[in-house]
Amino acid sequence: MTDIKVYPVTEIMTNCYLITDKDTGYMAVVDPGGKSEKLIDDIKSGGELKYVILTHGHYDHIGYAKQLASMFIAEIICGEYTNEFLNNNLLNHSAFHPDFNIEPFSGDIILSDGDCFNLGKTCIKYIYTPGHTKDSGCYIFDNNIITGDTLFRESFGRTDLPTGNDDDMINSIRRLKNIDGNYIVYPGHGMMSDLDFERKYNYLMVRV
């Protein structure tokens, strides 16, 4: 079982998550778009940071990933298309935000759809959910799903940025809708939700 804490970062309040495997104390951070001293303190006072996990390659989700991984000698995990964004400031949009200076970097562990990895005794599954960007993905573990900018509470990620695609988003939302059972939804921005709530009130999920 896991414990999950949220740390809003960047000027647009990106949700950065700290996952802790309760049995081993191993930790993973998801989408550290900016620096959080509280997050760093919690890692130092907790267990061992093993991974920095990325849902997709936009600046507000990756801005402090390399620094955090280097600080704690952790490995960066991402989907198979995310490296394109990590090495291109036009794709990751940091070129349009002068406060961000993201030096090109790459993931250490690259995942394909359906791949799983372990955080201590917790199995985490990656599913590929393009639409917001072509590299977007979600992470499922226990009764939780971290959705990045694919699924929000009663909404979904915009598709008008480079590599975004309306048809892909529809297919990805349909895929999440059809997952068996209910899961707590931890989105990239905004409030938490759950799949049953979204199946009932998310206007795109209702339609697909």
Q: Are strands 151-152 and 193-194 parallel, antiparallel or unpaired?
A: unpaired
- Rounded CA gap, 25 and 12, in Å? 30
What's the pLDDT at 97? 85
* Mean confidence (pLDDT) of the chain: 97
Residue closest to 106 by CA, chosen among 81, 72, 131, 134:
81
Mean per-residue pLDDT for 183-207? 98
Per residue in 110-138, pLDDT tens? 999 999 999 999 999 999 999 999 999 99
Class of 2-207 in CATH: alpha beta
pLDDT tier at 46, thresholds 50, 70, 90 = confident
* pLDDT over 90 at 66, yes or no: yes
What's the pLDDT at 43? 98
Residue 125's φ and ψ, nearest 5 degrees, are -105, 135
What's the pLDDT at 125? 98
Which residue ranges make up each domain of the chain?
2-207
Tokens representing 83?
């490296």
- Rounded CA gap, 47 and 65, in Å? 18
Of all residues in the chain, the percent with pLDDT exceeding 70 is 100
* pLDDT over 90 at 105, yes or no: yes
Q: Which three-class secondary structure state does DSSP give residue 30? A: strand
E-strand spans in the chain? 2-9, 14-21, 26-30, 48-53, 75-79, 109-111, 116-119, 122-128, 137-141, 144-148, 151-152, 155-156, 184-187, 193-194
